[in-house]
Amino acid sequence: MDTVPISSSVRNAFNEEGYVVLPGVLEAVTVEALSDAADHVFAQVVGTTLAEQMAHPRLTWWRLPDGQAYVFKVKPVADLAPAFGDVARGQALPAIASALLGAEVELMEDKVTYKEALDTDVPWAALPVLGEEVRKHSDATYFAARGFSRVLTVAVCLDDCPAEAGALRVWPGTHRRPVEYVPTADQGLVVPDESAPDDEAVTLAAEAGTVLAWDAALVHASDANLTGKPRRLLVLGYTAVGH
């Protein structure tokens, strides 16, 4: 049975640092089902995009400097594969979110981040040219604009995620203080280096099946995936009921 390893020390660490790393929450069979679901959704959404030469409305992608099309995420996904909905609205992950937020929670967002370049050429697609890295940011202002006062992000590692695969980087404690934001043309509001120095970051390298949870106000980022292997995350957003 999938477990919920939440204790007072874990809650205290989350409140202080803004994130927790929870290995062994989901059984291997559950992670395998989620991995298969991610493959199914990728084939469905990207396949439709390539076949119709029109970007699927759930797809976020861009072009890398070398010209390759790059799939960053598909959102939402819970209605596309039963495994996603079962886990997102099941017992373990909502219980973790509830324990960390101190309130009954509801699911308000679901997506899979793929970070995968396509082998297929798409000369018809008018895409911005960006790198693989996700720059320093927090999601709190984005969620606040949608009417959510506080959101907990819960990510399930569907693959092993060492540092060289573009593992999540976080800046502990930044959820508890104001940070500066700078607007960009293609990546929204980003946090400048002086508000989140690189030497203060923690890299959350993790094995497949690990659950990462962080306050949406926490500054975070990720680098390029240099392994040549998948680095997929099922990313869920939870907020207190009534938020």
Per-residue pLDDT of the chain (243 residues; tens, 9 = 90+): 455 668 999 999 999 999 999 998 999 999 999 999 999 999 999 999 999 999 999 999 999 999 999 999 999 999 999 999 999 999 999 999 999 999 999 999 999 999 999 999 999 999 999 999 999 999 998 999 899 989 999 999 999 999 999 999 999 999 999 999 999 988 889 999 999 999 999 999 999 999 999 999 999 999 999 998 889 999 999 999 987
pLDDT at 6: 84
CATH superfamily for 8-240 is q2cbj1_9rhob like domain (2.60.120.620)
Helices 92-101 and 8-17 pack at an angle, to 10 degrees, of: 60
Go through 42-64 and write b for each residue having 16 or more CB atoms within 10 A of its CB, e for each that does not.
bebbbeebbeeeebbebbebbbb
pLDDT at 55: 95
Answer whether 24's CB lies under 8 Å from 206's CB: no
The three-state secondary structure class of 158 is coil
Answer whether 164's CB lies under 8 Å from 238's CB: no
pLDDT at 5: 63
Show me where the domains of the chain are located.
8-240
pTM, 2 dp: 0.95
The amino acid at 60: T
pLDDT at 203: 98
pLDDT at 1: 43
pLDDT at 3: 54
